[in-house]
Amino acid sequence: MVEAPQTEEGWFALHDFRSIDWDAWRDAPERERERAIEEGKRFLRHREQVADADEGDSGLFSVLGHKADLLFVHFRPALDDLSSIERRFENTALAKFTEQTTSYVSVTEVSGYVSDEYFEDPESVDAGLKRYIEGKLTPEIPDDEYVCFYPMSKRRGEEYNWYDLSFEDRADLMADHGEVGKEYAGKIKQVIASSVGFEGHEWGVTLFGSDPTDIKDIVYEMRFDPASSRYGEFGEFYIGRRFPPADLGAYLAGETVPTGEGDGDEGGHGEGGHAHGEGGHHGEGGDHGADHGGGHDHAGSGGGSAHGDHPHGEEEASGEGDHPHADEEDGEGGDDASDADIRGELADLDIYAGKPSGEDVYATVLYSEADVDELFDEVEGLRGNFDHYGTHVKTAVYEGRVTDRAAVVSIWDTASAAETAAGFLSELPEIVARAGEESGFGTMGMFYTVKPEHQGDFTDTFDDVGEILAEMDGHVETDLMMNVEDENDMFIASQWHAKEDAMAFFGSDEFRETVQWGREVLADRPRHVFLA
């Protein structure tokens, strides 16, 4: 019997497609339309806040064409959670103006295509792969992105039958498939979920991207790959655009959404997006392999999870009763607010700190104990792919002076691209940590470009400051790391147990004097950033 890979399941997914009864909407009294909008916004806002479960994510999308008008995407830990969501929506005033044109039920999963080690000895799996697996099992929906959804199956014909192939042959095909998809890293995020036993097709594929032509290009290019050309069968394709629940009224009035006016109200839709799942392997069922680079076992298969083979008192009708603070204004996410607070405090100290790693860019930093030359060769190969994308700013290797490890720093224009790059970089040799995982508070990263004639002075001064740091409360470790391609480009990674400890250093006279001196020896303005 042909070997089927082991699988582990994660969150369940519901893609709920709705059409609007536009005649009924136009004929309805104004107060009915207003009530429908308010109840619809409240329902959708609570779904995005995941007020109905301990975990999950939801998103609202407009859909183009005749097949539907709206798409609700929900990820939840249990199938019953999705059933409850469907029924709660039917109790809103908005529901009577809609018809469910189609829906799709599936469950996320990972399989032996990702790594046999994960199933045989989970504790031996490296941290980067664990993050990847968690992202695939518990996906989050990118903010302000176009979406494409389609179902697919693997062919079971007389000439080409996917399920008659050996495990090794399938793994090799998916590895080649993933190589093509790697070209779209940073542009496309995918969620592939198994629907074997749930739907007529075997997988539901959801693609997210900021440019809809990237979605077209990746699907088209993958059609020429044997894993799709010989073995792929596809259902209807749907294309749409995410918008916040606050814009529901604008959508129904025929305005372009997202309007950009209501994002701050919703609490689930802001700049930078979510942290989960940006790096991932191409799943066997999908028509692409955009999220992640090389695989682990089976000749570097980029295959994702597979089911056998995965590719890739009474509540009011409005639904108000499902959240303990239904009438309160939604706040900003805690992590984003904390990061903004830290940067604000640095600004109060007259210390430059924009977004992570600079004014308008985002950074991801990973540490490796591999030989620096070997590490650089690997990074140089990845960097060649990164350079194809306009969002890529810089990727470099920094060698430590105090520690026996190197830092790989990758800087991008968007948070989602930086997270996707982290998925690739996590598979570099001997990765031991990611910035923000080393201590209770994390890393304060400081980037400096030194004038060549002052390079020695700068390192000497750092050594003096390092002696002061060693005596400070809450200090874990600080290292001055040099770019292996440019000794004048330096990265100081400073780890602290608590935010208060780090801020005490940044507010100290010693640091202030160093900054003043640095204005004479630096080639440009330094960047001081929080990387946790």
**In this structure, what are the phi and psi dihedrals at residue 108, rounded to the nearest 5 degrees?**
-70, 155
- Position 528 scores a pLDDT of 57
Structure tokens at 330: 């939604």
**Is residue 60 a part of any domain in this protein?**
yes
**Is residue 302 a part of any domain in this protein?**
no
Q: Using alpha carbons, select from 141, 136, 137, 142 the residue that is nearest to residue 57.
A: 141
Each residue's pLDDT tens digit, 336-376 = 444 555 555 555 555 544 444 444 567 788 889 999 999 99
Cβ 114 vs Cβ 310: under 8 Å: no
Examine the domain organization and report whether 182 and 54 are in the same domain: yes
Examine the domain organization and report whether 238 and 348 are in the same domain: no
**Is residue 335 a part of any domain in this protein?**
no
How many C-beta atoms lie closer than 10 Å to residue 300's C-beta?
A: 18
| Active-site choice (113, 146, 150, 389) | 150
- Position 519 scores a pLDDT of 66
Instruction: Specify the residue for token string 């042909």.
Output: 2
Cβ 410 vs Cβ 425: under 8 Å: yes
Examine the domain organization and report whether 118 and 218 are in the same domain: yes
Q: Which residues pair with 150 in a beta bridge?
A: 205
State how many domains the chain has: 2
Instruction: Specify the residue for token string 């224009």.
Output: 413
Examine the domain organization and report whether 368 and 242 are in the same domain: no
Q: Which one of 250, 272, 292 terminates a domain?
A: 250
Check: pTM over 0.75? Answer yes or no: no
- What are the CA-CA distances from residue 266 to residues 58, 253, 313 (Å)? 12, 20, 27
- Position 413 scores a pLDDT of 80
How far apart are alpha carbons 142 and 207 in whole angstroms?
10
Range of the domain at 395: 341-530
| CATH code: domain of residue 44 | 3.30.70.1030
Whole-number CA gyration radius for the chain: 25
CA angle centred on 284, ends 280 and 289, rounded to 5°: 45
- Position 527 scores a pLDDT of 61
Instruction: Specify the residue for token string 């799996």.
Output: 125
| CATH code: domain of residue 524 | 3.30.70.100
**In this structure, what are the phi and psi dihedrals at residue 292, rounded to the nearest 5 degrees?**
-150, 160
Structure tokens at 206: 């959801």
Structure tokens at 298: 């089976």
**Is residue 277 a part of any domain in this protein?**
no
**Is residue 390 a part of any domain in this protein?**
yes
- Position 356 scores a pLDDT of 41
Q: Which one of 186, 217, 250 terminates a domain?
A: 250
**Is residue 216 a part of any domain in this protein?**
yes
Instruction: Specify the residue for token string 């089911």.
Output: 307
Q: Using alpha carbons, select from 397, 401, 343 the residue that is nearest to residue 374.
A: 397
The helix/strand/coil state of 337 is helix
DSSP string, 77-132: SSHHHHHHHHHHHHTSTTGGGEEEEEEEEEEEEEETTT-HHHHH-GGGS-HHHHHH
CA dihedral 95, 98, 102, 103 (to 10 degrees): -30
Cβ 95 vs Cβ 195: under 8 Å: no
The helix/strand/coil state of 303 is strand
- The type of residue at 516 is Q
Q: Which one of 216, 250, 284 terminates a domain?
A: 250
Q: How far is CA 257 from the centre of its chain?
A: 23
In order along its 532 residues, the chain shows pLDDT tens digits of 677 778 889 999 999 999 999 999 999 999 999 999 999 999 999 999 998 898 999 999 999 999 999 999 999 999 999 999 999 999 999 999 999 999 999 999 987 666 667 777 777 777 777 787 888 899 999 886 899 999 999 999 989 999 999 888 988 888 777 777 778 877 899 899 999 999 999 999 999 999 999 999 999 999 998 889 999 999 999 999 999 999 999 999 999 999 877 544 444 443 333 333 333 333 455 444 444 433 333 333 333 333 334 333 333 333 333 333 333 333 333 344 445 555 555 555 555 444 444 445 677 888 899 999 999 999 988 888 888 777 888 899 999 888 888 989 888 887 778 878 888 888 888 888 776 554 445 556 677 788 888 888 888 887 877 777 778 888 888 888 899 999 888 888 787 777 777 777 777 777 767 766 766 787 776 665 555 4
**Is residue 303 a part of any domain in this protein?**
no
How far apart are alpha carbons 171 and 5 in whole angstroms?
10
Examine the domain organization and report whether 206 and 352 are in the same domain: no
Examine the domain organization and report whether 234 and 373 are in the same domain: no
Examine the domain organization and report whether 67 and 199 are in the same domain: yes
The helix/strand/coil state of 326 is coil
Q: Using alpha carbons, select from 21, 274, 6 the residue that is nearest to residue 117.
A: 6
**In this structure, what are the phi and psi dihedrals at residue 76, rounded to the nearest 5 degrees?**
-145, 155
Rounded to a whole number of angstroms, the distance between the first and last alpha carbons of the chain is: 48
Cβ 274 vs Cβ 57: under 8 Å: yes
Examine the domain organization and report whether 244 and 365 are in the same domain: no
How far apart are alpha carbons 174 and 169 in whole angstroms?
9
Instruction: Specify the residue for token string 């793994």.
Output: 171
- The type of residue at 49 is Q
The region that residue 254 occupies, defined by phi over 0 for left and psi between -120 and 50 for alpha, beta otherwise, is: left
Examine the domain organization and report whether 196 and 345 are in the same domain: no
How far apart are alpha carbons 29 and 112 in whole angstroms?
56
Q: Using alpha carbons, select from 531, 439, 506, 503 the residue that is nearest to residue 477.
A: 439
Element holding 336 (H helix, E strand) = helix 334-348
Examine the domain organization and report whether 208 and 354 are in the same domain: no
The region that residue 489 occupies, defined by phi over 0 for left and psi between -120 and 50 for alpha, beta otherwise, is: beta
Sequence-ordered strand ranges (E) for 377-430: 392-400, 406-412
How far apart are alpha carbons 166 and 376 in whole angstroms?
36
**Is residue 439 a part of any domain in this protein?**
yes
Angle between helices 455-470 and 509-521 (to 10 degrees): 170
Cβ 67 vs Cβ 274: under 8 Å: no
Examine the domain organization and report whether 468 and 349 are in the same domain: yes
Q: Is 150 among the residues known to form the active site?
A: yes
